[in-house]
Amino acid sequence: MIRIANGQGFWGDWLEAPVRLVEDGPLDYLTLDYLAEVTMSILQKQRQKDPLLGYATDFPPLMGRIAHTLKQRHVRVVANAGGVNPAACARAVRRLAPELKIAVVAGDDLLPRIDELFAAGHSFENMETGQPLAAFRPRIRSANAYLGAFPIAQALATGADVVITGRCADAALSLGPSIFEFGWRQDDLDLLAAGVAAGHIIECGAHSTGGNCLDSWQTVPDMASIGYPIIEAEPDGSFVITKHAASGGRVSEATVKEQLVYEIGDPRRYLTPDVVADFTSLHVCRLGDNRVRVTGARGTERPEKLKVSISYFRGYKAIGTLTYGAPDAYQKALAADQIIRERLARLNLHFDRINSEFFGVNAVQGGVVTAATPPVEVQLRIGVRGEDRAAIERFTREMIPLVLSGPPGATGYGDGRPAVREVIAYWPALLDRSEVPASVEIVQ
Amino acid sequence: MKIPLSRIAHARSGDKGDLCNIGVIAHRERDYPILVRTLTAERVKEYFGCLVLGPIERYELPNLGALNFVLHQALDGGGTISLRTDAQGKAFGGAILLMEVEVDERELDPQP
């Protein structure tokens, strides 16, 4: 049996979690998932400004902080912290944690080859809209294929203490160690599916240990020191989800099931680069306090093509707010919204969209859920987006004047005008596997 | 009788681009047939109204006592494009739990 934990569900997750995982109990592998869909474009932008950046900068200091414990306790790390610049990430880790041996998995970055790939006839049709990518060529900011778990296993075989990847399937971070330890092969479809299910359960960190859980959340113990999830993986593919004994939070059938259905489509076809996992084959069973066993995973042949995550420039947006108190808070906010829209219309500005929300009434559940009594305080939140930066800039001047020239009592404008932000949007596509050769390099 | 869905189920929602998915899980496995019967894709589509512009698909996971709903064009473009506060659909799971479902009183008996 090996223990594989996840200490970061995204870049910005709780900094103490990975430290607690390596210090507070037994562990063999620490995985860290830093990359959300749009993170790559942010990193690409940073790299364009500075060729030494483009990776998750939280990672090297973390390695420096825990290097001694990792060595002492024989814990190895697998992290997609490399972003769009795994080599620079590796050098930074080397500087802060010289005692760690590092291997880098590369090959996911398609941006330098994008024109060559277009020329070879790859159209990168948008998986959601069907549009071909070519017309958006000047707007492309990043393009990365999702690599699988086998290159990670290969990197572990070099004896590295730390494996740094760029874009790879989230579940691959923890599947890689199982492949390496148990010798699972490409045609061990059920075993790979088990590893994918386990990886999916832990990839969002405390999402499977009581965080963001709608099953009696009030009773989740000691969330302030919530434990992050650990897989106890067996060579036969069965596994237990647990957490360190002294930590807070809860591992139950409910917390595991909630994460299994998180961000999935057809549960019979959970697609990864290594296998198609069938989540309807899984049996979830409580073994004891904070121990849940998962068995029965079934898998089918991996997809022929790899998923590619592309980001592209999609104009600008700005979001502004004004807050109103009683009496008539909602009515005042509604009136303010009408005044602003009327003023914008008279300026003949073009926006792709104007969206108004009323906090306290319909901001996050769109009016689906309603209250019997009127709210005593309401925040008006107006967002605009479009291609014309000047129009968005002008919108940012139209909120605050209402403090003096609109309904009474407008407040909450202390931060001044809202900022105009670039919109970098996500473009999912597919690409032939043969176009994406992954490589493993040891960093000396 | 009508009860809020939260009495028999819990849920979690998330995003993939402009898609939102909501997993709804029965607290007790024996209540899964109530979910299958009452939570049709049409009913869920009607419940979310103009918040969801596209179609809704429903998938069954009898092994987990769960249903998965995939809501298309549900997040005002999704991700960074969306102007919504809840651009990632995080609050949809809580919203669906307040939906009223019709059950027979005997179905809620504490004993099987």
The residue extents of the domains of chain A are 2-108+146-303, 313-426
pLDDT score, position A307: 97
Q: Is A36's pLDDT higher than 90? A: no
Q: Is residue B21 part of a domain?
A: yes
Q: A315: closest CA among A261, A241, A257, A389?
A: A389
Q: Identify each DSSP E strand in A37-174 by its residue range.
A: 76-79, 102-106, 140-145, 162-165
**Which 8-state DSSP code applies to residue A418?**
P
Could you tell me how far CA A122 lies from the centroid of its own chain? 27
Kindly report the backbone phi and psi dihedral angles of residue A319, in degrees, each rounded to the nearest multiple of 5, phi listed first: -135, 125
**Is A20 near chain B, with CB under 8 Å?**
no
- Give burial (CB, 10 Å; 0-12/13-18/19+) of A178: buried
Inter-chain residue contact B86 with A281, CB threshold 8 Å: no
pLDDT score, position A39: 87
Using CA atoms, how far apart are residues A160 and A173, in angstroms rounded to an integer? 15
Q: What is the CATH number of the domain that holds B55?
A: 3.30.70
Q: List for chain A the helix, strand, coil content (%; round to 5).
A: 35, 25, 40
Q: Average of pLDDT values for A240-253?
A: 98
Q: Is B15's pLDDT higher than 90? A: yes
Inter-chain residue contact A267 with B47, CB threshold 8 Å: no
CA distance B67 to chain A (A): 8
Q: Average of pLDDT values for B34-52?
A: 97
pLDDT score, position A17: 98
Chain B residues with CB inside 8 Å of A363's CB?
A: 85-86
Q: Is residue B109 part of a domain?
A: no
Q: With a CB-CB cutoff of 8 Å, which residues 394-423 of chain A face chain B?
A: 423
Q: With a CB-CB cutoff of 8 Å, which residues 117-176 of chain A face chain B?
A: 128
Q: Average of pLDDT values for A235-251?
A: 98
The contacts of residue A172 (CB under 8 Å, 6+ apart) are A147, A148, A149, A152, A199, A272, A273, A274
Residue A34 and residue A54 in contact, taking contact as beta carbons nearer than 8 Å = no
**CA A371 to each of CA A335, A407, A417, B46: distance values in angstroms, whole numbers, following the listed order:** 20, 24, 32, 19
Q: Is A96's pLDDT higher than 80? A: yes
Using CA atoms, how far apart are residues A42 and A83, in angstroms rounded to an integer? 10
Using CA atoms, how far apart are residues A75 and A2, in angstroms rounded to an integer? 11
Q: A365: closest CA among B68, B98, B107, B102?
A: B98
Chain A residues with CB inside 8 Å of B62's CB?
A: 280
The contacts of residue B57 (CB under 8 Å, 6+ apart) are B41, B69, B70, B72
Q: Give me the torsion for CA of B90, B93, B96, B97, rounded to 10°.
A: -130
Q: Does CATH place domain A313-426 in 3.30.70? A: yes
Q: Which of A126, A217, A368 would best serve as a mutation to test chain B binding (most B beta carbons within 10 A)?
A: A368
Domain count for chain B: 1
Give per-residue pLDDT as tens, A149-196: 999 999 999 999 999 999 999 999 999 999 999 999 999 999 999 999
Using CA atoms, how far apart are residues A115 and A192, in angstroms rounded to an integer? 34
Using CA atoms, how far apart are residues A20 and A23, in angstroms rounded to an integer? 5
pLDDT, chain A, mean: 96
pLDDT score, position B112: 62
Using CA atoms, how far apart are residues B19 and B57, in angstroms rounded to an integer? 11
Structural domain including B15 reads 2-84
CA distance A42 to chain B (A): 11
Inter-chain residue contact B95 with A369, CB threshold 8 Å: yes
Q: With a CB-CB cutoff of 8 Å, which residues 72-111 of chain B face chain A?
A: 76-81, 83-86, 90-95, 97-98
Inter-chain residue contact B17 with A426, CB threshold 8 Å: yes
Q: Per-residue confidence at A243, pLDDT binned at 50, 70, 90?
A: very high
Residue with tokens 């778990």: A149
Q: Average of pLDDT values for A246-261?
A: 98
Chain B residues with CB inside 8 Å of A369's CB?
A: 94-95, 98
Using CA atoms, how far apart are residues A10 and A144, in angstroms rounded to an integer? 17
Q: Is residue B99 part of a domain?
A: no
Q: In what order do the strands lie in the sheet with B19-26?
A: B9-16, B19-26, B66-71, B56-61
Using CA atoms, how far apart are residues A105 and A168, in angstroms rounded to an integer? 9
CA distance A443 to chain B (A): 35
Q: Is A315's pLDDT higher than 70? A: yes
Q: Is A38's pLDDT higher than 90? A: no
pLDDT score, position A181: 98
Give per-residue pLDDT as tens, A328-378: 999 999 999 999 999 999 999 999 999 999 999 999 988 898 888 889 999
**Cβ contacts from A onto B, under 8 A:** 140
**Is A220 near chain B, with CB under 8 Å?**
no
**Is B29 near chain A, with CB under 8 Å?**
no
Q: Is residue B11 part of a domain?
A: yes
Using CA atoms, how far apart are residues A434 and B6, in angstroms rounded to an integer? 48
Q: Is A79's pLDDT higher than 90? A: yes
**Is B19 near chain A, with CB under 8 Å?**
yes
Q: Is residue B89 part of a domain?
A: no
The interface pTM score, or ipTM, of the predicted complex is 0.97
Could you tell me how far CA A212 lies from the centroid of its own chain? 15
**Is A426 near chain B, with CB under 8 Å?**
yes
Identify residue A271 by its one-letter amino acid code.
L
pLDDT score, position A372: 81
pLDDT score, position B109: 85
Q: Per-residue confidence at B25, pLDDT binned at 50, 70, 90?
A: very high
Inter-chain residue contact B16 with A266, CB threshold 8 Å: no
**Is A2 near chain B, with CB under 8 Å?**
no
Inter-chain residue contact A363 with B80, CB threshold 8 Å: no
Q: Is A255's pLDDT higher than 70? A: yes
Using CA atoms, how far apart are residues A406 and A414, in angstroms rounded to an integer? 17
Give per-residue pLDDT as tens, A98-136: 999 999 999 999 999 999 999 999 999 999 889 999 999
